[in-house]
Amino acid sequence: DAGITQSPRHKVTETGTPVTLRCHQTENHRYMYWYRQDPGHGLRLIHYSYGVKDTDKGEVSDGYSVSRSKTEDFLLTLESATSSQTSVYFCATSNSNQPQHFGDGTRLSIL
């Protein structure tokens, strides 16, 4: 197992508040990804990182920002949460085109 820890696992917050989700890995994988999972949409890529301080956008990046200041940690921030961002968020890691290893997910509810 890739040793991926997501925190928090569950969060309920109000519209307009900032939210930060953390992904921590212990496998020294180069790539880290943030996805959101919604019914009927499968997994959609929000942002990904291919190295420290190197990030790029995915298909649903609006309203989200990320940071990676060290190999182990990849943070996802919702600057001003909206109800449409209620979702289950998964972090994943990999090396190049190898299989991705996923965290257990964070269930985020925005009221």
Partner 1 sequence: AQKVTQAQTEISVVEKEDVTLDCVYETRDTTYYLFWYKQPPSGELVFLIRRNSFDEQNEISGRYSWNFQKSTSSFNFTITASQVVDSAVYFCALSEASRTSGTYKYIFGTGTRLKVLA
Contact set with partner 1 (CB under 8 A): 31, 33, 35, 40-45, 48, 50, 56, 58, 88, 90, 92, 94, 96-102, 104-105
Tell me whether residue 48 or residue 85 sits nearer to partner 1 (CB atom): 48
Which tokens hold the place of 12? 């309920």
Distance CA 68, CA 52 (A): 5
Residues 52, 45, 106, 99, Cα dihedral to 10°: -70
- Shortest Å, Cβ 5 to partner 1: 13
Choose between 89 and 110: whose C-beta lies nearer to partner 1: 89
Q: Give whichever of 17 and 95 is closer to partner 1, judged by the CB atom.
A: 95
Name residue, tokens 């997910």: 105
